[in-house]
Amino acid sequence: MFVKHGMNSGFSSLASSAVLRRQQFLIRSLKGYSVSDKIRMEAVKCLSGGASLEANAESVLRTITPSLDPTRHKGQAGKIAVIGGCREYTGAPYFAAISALKIGADLSHVFCTEGAATVIKSYSPELIVHPILEESYNISGVNDEGKRDISKKILSEFDKWMERFDCLVVGPGLGRDPFLLECVSKIMTRARQSNVPIVVDGDGLFLVTNSIELVSGYRLAVLTPNVNEYKRLVQKVLGCDVNDQNTHGELLSLSKQIGNVTILRKGKSDLISDGEKVQSVSIYGSTRRCGGQGDILSGSVAVFLFWARQCNSAAERESTISRTNPAVLGCIAGSALLRKAAALAFEHKKRSTLTTDIIEHLGQSLEAISLAS
């Protein structure tokens, strides 16, 4: 089911089995052993022991995806906020936000500049768009004190919404305007103070690479770098070039150095680490490399991270399974679902496959693994 590696793989496997048996015995002793318990135990099994490499992604997806329940109300399946969207880039924040809805989040917000807001709204009436961010060109005649006032106003406006969000996605279509990035760094700091998970992608990674303290030591932060973004992170944090001969060790070191922040290194196989172990998702996706797939991933990880936190909270109340890192679970689930949706889209569209085609297959791909009810 998954690859074992290293000198201690046999011992780790035995130890993991022993832990699994003890957890199963506890469940049977307390309240019987149901089908849902078995599914939960499969997820624990796929994450037990540092020797596991390939994650059992389908078990994770089945475990953390909530069934649709008529007693639940709007918002309980997730409220996601995307921080991004400027004059040049309007597609990326839309892709991230709409992907969150297509997977099953109830509400999806986009915080962007005024120049991007109308365009993003025109893509879909499903999104709640807030044109509160500012770029330098818009305030070029404002003095330093005036800029500080604008920054405070932006933060104050965002604070009105902060407590409603279950996860932030920072970076899709953000751009690299200095004033905008300064405001977003304050939003990230406020989110961290409020214990709101943060998924960082795109230009958000440019911001974090140059201000690593924004996420350092924050266990609810996820970084999703592509090959170039990862290279810059390694150079900045580890002070060396990427070592393709020690991929897993390097990723472990990078995560540890940033305080065990979860990193999803995108590639042929997606590698995921929180500094404790490295897991991979190697499900075949598509050979089509159209832009925007990383935005789908960031929106997906945000939803699954929130669902994993819900799952962990329920498990803790029931005292049935040990807690697992929800950031890691969210990355495994998001990576697997994107790959499955990309494969389905490519099957129909081949070379003409676009990001919008992949988004349309997210729901079908998740339903094939985890039934809605």
For position 158, which CATH number holds?
3.40.1190.20
- Residue 112 marked in a binding site: no
Residue 57 lies in a domain: no
β partners of residue 279: 272
- Residue 289 marked in a binding site: yes
- Residue 217 marked in a binding site: no
Residue 23 lies in a domain: no
Q: pLDDT-based confidence at 269, cuts 50/70/90?
A: very high
pLDDT at 244: 92
Residue 365 lies in a domain: yes
- Residue 309 marked in a binding site: no
Domains in the chain, number: 1
Q: What is the pLDDT of residues 138-185, one digit of tens each?
A: 999 999 999 999 999 999 999 999 999 999 999 999 999 999 999 999
Residue 46 lies in a domain: no
pLDDT of 20 higher than 90 = no
Which one-letter DSSP state was computed for residue 54?
A: B
State both tokens at 293: 């797939």
Residue 20 lies in a domain: no
- Residue 290 marked in a binding site: yes
321 — phi, psi (to 5°)?
Answer: -135, 155
- Residue 190 marked in a binding site: no
- Residue 231 marked in a binding site: yes
Residue 59 lies in a domain: no
Residue 228 lies in a domain: yes
- Residue 286 marked in a binding site: yes
Q: pLDDT-based confidence at 317, cuts 50/70/90?
A: low
Angle between helices 35-47 and 326-349 in degrees, nearest 10: 100
177/163 Cα distance (integer angstroms):
27
Which one-letter DSSP state was computed for residue 354?
A: -
Helix (H, G, I), strand (E, B) or coil at 185: helix
- Residue 230 marked in a binding site: yes
- Residue 287 marked in a binding site: yes
- Residue 227 marked in a binding site: yes
298/319 Cα distance (integer angstroms):
31
- Residue 293 marked in a binding site: yes
213/252 Cα distance (integer angstroms):
18
Tokens 């989040």 correspond to what residue? 105
Contact 271, 265 (CB under 8 A): yes
State both tokens at 367: 């339903």
pLDDT of 223 higher than 90 = yes
Residue 31 lies in a domain: no
- Residue 192 marked in a binding site: no
- Residue 320 marked in a binding site: no
Range of the domain at 364: 73-371
